[in-house]
Structure 1
Amino acid sequence: MELNGRVVVVTGGTRGVGAGIARSFVAAGAEVVVCARRPPEGFLGKAEFAALDVRDGDSVRRFFAGLPRLDVLVNNAGGAPYRPLAQGGPERHARVLELNLLAPLTVSLAAHDLLKRARGSIVMIGSVSGGRPSPGTAAYGAAKAGLENLARSMAVEWAPDIRVNTLVVGMVRTERSPLHYGDDEGIAAVSRTVPLGRLAEPSDVGAAAVFLASDAAAYISGASLLVHGGGERPAFLDAATVNKET
Structure 2
Amino acid sequence: MTSFTGRVAVVTGGTRGIGRAVAARFEAAGATVVTLARTEPRQAVGRFIATDLGSHGAVRDAFRTVAEEFGRVDVLVNNAGGARPGAALDYSEAAARAAFDLNVLGALFAAQCMYPLTPEHGGASIVNIGSVAGTRPSPGTALYGAAKAALASLTKSLALEWAPRVRVNCVLPGPVLTESLTAYYGGPEAAAVVGQGLPMGRMAEPADIADACLFLASDAARQVSGAELLVHGGGEAPRFNRAGHLPRRAAGIDGTGE
Q: Which moved more, 1:34-43 or 1:63-72?
A: 34-43
CA distance in 2 between partners of 1:7 and 1:117 (Å): 15
Q: What TM-score results when the alignment is normalised by the length of structure 1?
A: 0.92
Work out the number of aligned pairs and report it: 243
Q: Using CA pairs below 8 Å that are at least 6 residues apart, which structure has the higher relative contact order? A: 1
- 1:150 partner SS: helix
Specify which of 103, 112, 115 is matched with residue 109 of structure 1.
Answer: 112
Aligned to 1:63: 62
CA distance in 2 between partners of 1:224 and 1:22 (Å): 20
- 2:106 partner SS: helix
Deviating 4+ runs (over 6 angstroms): none
Deviation digits for residues 71-125 of structure 1 (CA, Å, limit 9, x no counterpart) = 0000000012221112222331221111111111111111111125362110000
Question: Could you tell me which amino acid in structure 1 is paired with residue 214 of structure 2?
Answer: V
Aligned to 2:252: none
Matched, 1:33 2:17: no
Q: What TM-score results when the alignment is normalised by the length of structure 2?
A: 0.88
CA distance in 2 between partners of 1:28 and 1:244 (Å): 45
Aligned to 2:217: 213
Cα offset, 1:243, TM superposition? 5.7
Structure number, greater radius of gyration: 2
CA distance in 2 between partners of 1:209 and 1:125 (Å): 9
CA distance in 2 between partners of 1:87 and 1:142 (Å): 16
**RMSD between aligned residues:** 1.9
Question: Could you tell me which amino acid in structure 1 is paired with residue 154 of structure 2?
Answer: L
CA distance in 1 between partners of 2:44 and 2:73 (Å): 23
Cα offset, 1:133, TM superposition? 1.1
5 Å-filtered alignment, 1:162-177, equals 162-177=166-181
Cα offset, 1:177, TM superposition? 2.2
- Provide the identity percentage: 48
- 1:117 partner SS: coil
5 Å-filtered alignment, 1:1-246, equals 1=1, 2-41=3-42, 44=45, 47-66=46-65, 67=67, 68-117=71-120, 119=122, 120-235=124-239, 237-238=241-242
Q: Which moved more, 1:128-137 or 1:111-120?
A: 111-120
CA distance in 1 between partners of 2:13 and 2:177 (Å): 17
- 1:222 partner SS: coil
- 2:10 partner SS: strand
